[in-house]
Structures are given as C-alpha cells and as structure tokens.
Amino acid sequence: MNSKVAEATSEVIAAFMQQVIVQYYSFGGHFRRVEPRESVAIPIRLCPLDESFEPQGDEFNAVTRDVSCSGIGFFHTRTIETPFLKITIAAPETGHQMNLLARVEHCTPCGDFQIVGCRLVGSANGDFEGCGEKLS
C-alpha cells in the first residue's frame, strides 16, 4: 500500500468518525452537555417507568458509559420505550445505593446496541443530593 492510499484512507476514516461523533454525541444538532461527563463503567439496575412513574416491565442490568451530576449514558441491547427509568446505582467505596429517577432523552441505534442518554430529574428514595430536584 503506498502513502497516498494510506493518507486517503486515513482521511476517509477521520471523516466517517466525525460523522459518528456528530450523530451520536450532538443529538438535535447542537452540543447539549452542560456539565463535564466522566467516561466510567458502573453497573446499574434499571426499571422502565411510565409518565406516572409506574413500573412497566421487569428490571434489567446495564453498565454506564458516562456519568455527570445531571445525567447518565449507557449502552444496551434493549430499546427503551418508556419516558422514565428508575436507576439504582451504588457508590463503589461505601456501597451506598441510590434510586434515581431519570428522563430518557434519547435511545439511538448503534449496530446491535442502543445508546441511551438520560437526564436525572430526582430521587426515587428521597435523598437525591446536589444534583436536580427531589420528587415530592
């Protein structure tokens, strides 16, 4: 393979990856992240909820792809069709668990998976501190 072919291939790859980034990280055509996110894999438990925060089906496990004070993103094989999720997450050092209420912002196909982005809107157990609002 000569250097011109390698350069052209690199440019094509770079252009493709730019499209992927735009499609999967700037939903709605603009950069929406208000706070820095940390790329971290944390096991979480999810329960789909309807508009009245009633469970809609069985709980299932997932692993985060990124987290911030106001949101959680994860990959999953399941399409999320409910507007809300209860997310159970534990602090790794203390083991303290919290049940968070999250609004599903997007569920975008990515091959065999879905990229899911959620905005944290409250606590399902009333002790949501520092980010968002408590549920009344």
Closest CA to 124 of 35, 36, 46: 46
pLDDT of 70:
82
pTM of the model as a whole: 0.66
Position 3 confidence tier, pLDDT thresholds 50, 70, 90: very low
Tell me: pLDDT of 13 over 90.
Answer: no
Tens-place pLDDT, residues 74-110? 999 999 999 999 999 887 777 788 888 899 999 999 9
Tens-place pLDDT, residues 17-59? 555 555 544 444 444 555 567 788 888 999 999 998 889 999 9
Burial 47-65 (b: 16+ CB within 10 A, else e): bbbeeebeeeeeeeebebb
Alpha carbon distance 124, 44 (integer Å): 15
CATH architecture of the domain covering 36-136 = Beta Barrel (2.40)
pLDDT of 89:
87
